[in-house]
Structure 1
Amino acid sequence: MKPVVIAAALAGLIGLGLFLAPMNRPPVNESSASRTEDPAKRQAKGAYLAQAGNCMGCHTAQDGRPYAGGHILATSIGTFITPNITPDPETGIGQWTEQDFWRALHDGKARDGSPLYPAFPYTDYTKVTREDADAIFAYLQSLPPVSQRNPPSRINFPFNLRPLLYVWRALYFEQGVYRPEAAKNDEWNRGAYLVQGLGHCNACHTARNPLGASQGNVLGGGQLMGSNWYAPSLTSLQEGSASDWPMDDIVQLLTTGLSSRAAATGPMADVVSQSLQYLTPDDARAMATYLKSLPGSAPHSRGTAPELTDEVDRQFRRGGEIYEKYCQDCHGSFGQGAPGVYPALAGNRGVTLASPINAIRSILNGGYAPVTESSPRPYGMPPFAQILPDEDIALVLSYIRNAWGNRGSLVTAVQVDRSRKGAQ
């Protein structure tokens, strides 16, 4: 169904008066969990939580001042410009109260009570406790104020009609702080809280419908909003599930971005650099415990592996020649890689995803493993966008996806061209 048709239907619901809520509903949970905590300790706790939630990742523009906003977030319904959340009274949140901040996270409402667009992931942040929300606010209020008035977001018609948000919320928003599962231990519940709430992993790793709402299996994989990247399923063994991994390997991937089984690339490398590497050992292990426990989902199709016809054999031989010239020195003659330096390609689930979009972007643009305290200058991959034409990139990827026991569909020059132009 086209978005305009969906929006028209939602507008009809509004016309009937369905789902509408008062603009200034009484705020939830007025009182802070703690008024006696030492302010310095509270701010330090908030700094850690803000980092664990990667708040700076969205609220800092490229080469911009931390938390001053201006980051551009392209989505299917428009382009959002993230706000300034430093304590500047005119352009930031200097006039906000703890209650205002709590309402934004928990209820998805602005300071004036109007509904926020779910590009701000309050659908996940609603699970954050009041105590943690207040600590984050205390930290943000301790930052140096930055006077930076960011341009307004540009929302496409008819999604710029804010009353539609009331219907969206009625259909897709379930408010509520995370409730621990009694049958699980404290470590598992802590991991679930971090993944489901503060870490808002669902925002990237779950597919979205045309209205920007999560659909399908939770953490079942999805295209990143406004980005030519695919966040793999964390429940499918053909994609990013870690249910069969040793615990230490999961922790290592989360905190360093590189393990013997996988490497973080693209947007996930940024998440590791900006956020996950700073987790305490206990929190990293808690997240790993929860991720390892996720129930498996149905295997995702990798596309139809090609029959070995004379033409396909010719393509593989040509792809092998390109691989030998440009890739073999780092990734090895058998795709074995170099442990801790260059990822293996043989048996690499990221290479054989149904969509080759991540692999295409890696070849076009290159990339680096996350920059972390333990690896401040990681080895990287150079970009080949100016070296290899679309046809050659398609050939070498088709070869890699079907060499050394890998099985995946062929990659076409059209797919490479679309990625080169930034098409979704």
Structure 2
Amino acid sequence: MRPWLRRTLWGGLGLVVLAGAAVATASVLAERKMQRQLVLQVADVPLRDDAASVERGRYLFASRGCADCHGANGAGHTLIDDPNGMFVRGPNLTTGAHSAVQGYRSIDWVRAVRHGVKRDGRPALIMPSEDYNRFTDADLAALVAYVRQLPPVDSEPGQVRFPLPVRVLYGLGAIQDAYEKIDHALPPQQPVAEGVTAAHGAYVANMCMGCHGAGLSGGKIPGGPPDWPAASNLTSGEGSAMPRYASAEQFRHMLATGKRPDGSAVSPVMPFGSLQAMSQTDADALYLYLKALPPRPAGGR
């Protein structure tokens, strides 16, 4: 064998070995991240059980994405079953078999919802706590009040299974869990008067950050299946989706039907089950806020 060919083959083999070692190392790092213990001191939020709080919690559960992962009855369901190996089943929030919240105290709810930390101290891998971190104390208490009175349903355990490429990216820090995305030093959000205002729209828009990014400029959704499209730019920057909607009415119609004004369909990755439950006040306030956002480059998240 010619010396240069031998060197090339050995060099290629060395690269394969190094690549395999890097993948194995990243996979180990991912497992350590999944199992790491997060120590976090947070302010407690007293539990509630009054009728008004339960009713407000019912609305939040339906309109802020909770039902998309946990099902309308709160017992959990399969959210992603991708042939490439990604599997996500939302956990059971009722007190039935395989409940994920059995024995939760008020402080446990605060850590899970606002901070992405499970009761055992491990990160909640898929829970989009970055969307809920800015809940006011009243809304957090209301949501928990509603969940706690759900009838018990026996269900399968919640499960998250990452394919190898996602595990590698997670282990290397290219994909973050909710805990890593949140500024845990921020004080709780102060209440904003409910109404068709940009200020209230900004509060509603917190639910969009998990997919569209903290800056709402969209881009590829980290950790999503490869066939998911990039989230749209919701700012006024280049490639913005907002010029499609000349009025709040057109925007509301899209939220309710999944159809743009020209009749084309928006990606079903959008949580239309929740968006359809949004009140007109919330939808119009969200529209007002998004239309006023300063431009950001598309994909900057």
Fold shared, TM-score > 0.5 on shorter chain: yes
Q: Return the structure number with greater helix share.
A: 2
Aligned pairs for 1:193-204 (under 5 A) are 193-196=203-206, 199=207, 201-204=208-211
1:248 corresponds in structure 2 to 249
1:127 corresponds in structure 2 to 134
Any conservation in 1 of the 2:44–2:106 contact (CA below 8 Å)? no
Does 2:198 match 1:188?
A: yes
Change beyond 3 A, Cα 1:77–1:186? farther
Change beyond 3 A, Cα 1:150–1:299? closer
Deviations 1:132-190 (A, max 9, x none): 12211111122111111336432456949x9989x9578643234675799xx982122
Query: Aligned pairs, how many?
Result: 267
Q: Secondary structure, in 3 states, of the residue corresponding to 2:145?
A: helix
2:115 corresponds in structure 1 to 107
* TM-aligned CA deviation for residue 10 of structure 1: 10
Does 2:87 match 1:79?
A: yes
In structure 1, give the amino acid aligned to 2:73: P
Change beyond 3 A, Cα 1:10–1:31? same
Does 2:282 match 1:283?
A: yes
CA distance in 2: counterparts of 1:253 and 1:233, whole angstroms: 16
CA RMSD of aligned residues (A): 4.2
1:368 corresponds in structure 2 to none
* TM-aligned CA deviation for residue 251 of structure 1: 2.9
CA distance in 2: counterparts of 1:43 and 1:82, whole angstroms: 22
1:58 corresponds in structure 2 to 69
1:420 corresponds in structure 2 to none
Task: Find the structure with the greater CA-based Rg.
Answer: 1
CA distance in 2: counterparts of 1:180 and 1:263, whole angstroms: 38
Any conservation in 1 of the 2:89–2:158 contact (CA below 8 Å)? yes
Q: Secondary structure, in 3 states, of the residue corresponding to 1:73?
A: strand
Give 5+ residue unaligned stretches, structure 1: 16-20, 207-213, 301-424
Any conservation in 2 of the 1:70–1:150 contact (CA below 8 Å)? no
CA distance in 2: counterparts of 1:71 and 1:81, whole angstroms: 4
In structure 2, give the amino acid aligned to 1:266: S
In structure 2, give the amino acid aligned to 1:220: G
* TM-aligned CA deviation for residue 222 of structure 1: 2.5
Give 5+ residue unaligned stretches, structure 2: 1-18
CA distance in 1: counterparts of 2:181 and 2:22, whole angstroms: 18
- The TM-score normalised by the length of structure 1 is 0.52
- Moved runs in structure 1, 4+ residues, more than 6 A? 9-12, 162-165
CA distance in 1: counterparts of 2:37 and 2:94, whole angstroms: 29
2:232 corresponds in structure 1 to 232
Q: Secondary structure, in 3 states, of the residue corresponding to 2:76?
A: coil
In structure 2, give the amino acid aligned to 1:221: G
Deviations 1:362-384 (A, max 9, x none): xxxxxxxxxxxxxxxxxxxxxxx
Q: Secondary structure, in 3 states, of the residue corresponding to 1:43?
A: helix
Any conservation in 2 of the 1:195–1:287 contact (CA below 8 Å)? yes
1:389 corresponds in structure 2 to none
Deviations 1:85-136 (A, max 9, x none): 123265342422232122101121111222221x221122212223212211
Does 2:50 match 1:39?
A: yes
* TM-aligned CA deviation for residue 56 of structure 1: 1.1
* TM-aligned CA deviation for residue 54 of structure 1: 2.0
In structure 2, give the amino acid aligned to 1:188: A
- The TM-score normalised by the length of structure 2 is 0.70
CA distance in 2: counterparts of 1:171 and 1:151, whole angstroms: 21
Change beyond 3 A, Cα 1:87–1:6? same
* TM-aligned CA deviation for residue 261 of structure 1: 4.6
Greater relative contact order (CA < 8 Å, ≥ 6 in sequence): 2
1:266 corresponds in structure 2 to 267
* TM-aligned CA deviation for residue 22 of structure 1: 6.4
CA distance in 2: counterparts of 1:3 and 1:126, whole angstroms: 38
Any conservation in 1 of the 2:92–2:155 contact (CA below 8 Å)? yes
1:29 corresponds in structure 2 to 43
